[in-house]
Amino acid sequence: MRGGAWRHKVDVSATFKNEDLSFEKRRDGVVLRLRSSQAAIDGTNGEELIMLLEDLAETTDTVEFDSVWDDIYNLADSGKWLWIDTI
């Protein structure tokens, strides 16, 4: 099951895959959704997530975005802390 047994779950799929939006609007939508999630205020990794989201918000292209996104995914995977649905 997708997302089962994870501490937090955040669905960013509506924005993440929306090709009708500009890069900036998709990026900002993903950042907003994750910043407003329970995971962002979680004492476990929330502070680190917020720092990475600040970096993500400053990306100017998909190469930079993907680099920071990889760091966010690695953090999220640690101990099944955060499931990020992008599909």
CB-based contacts of 10: which residues, under 8 Å, 6+ apart? 33, 34, 37, 39, 82, 83, 84, 85
Residue 35 lies in a domain: yes
pLDDT tens for 6-33 read 999 999 999 999 999 999 999 999 999 9
- Give the Cα separation of 41 and 20 in Å (integer): 31
pLDDT tens for 39-83 read 999 888 999 999 999 999 999 999 999 999 999 999 999 989 999
Residue 3 lies in a domain: no
Residue 25 lies in a domain: yes
Residue 2 lies in a domain: no
**Tell me, what's the pLDDT at 42?**
86
Residue-range definition of the domain harbouring residue 15: 8-85
Q: What is the pTM of this model?
A: 0.91
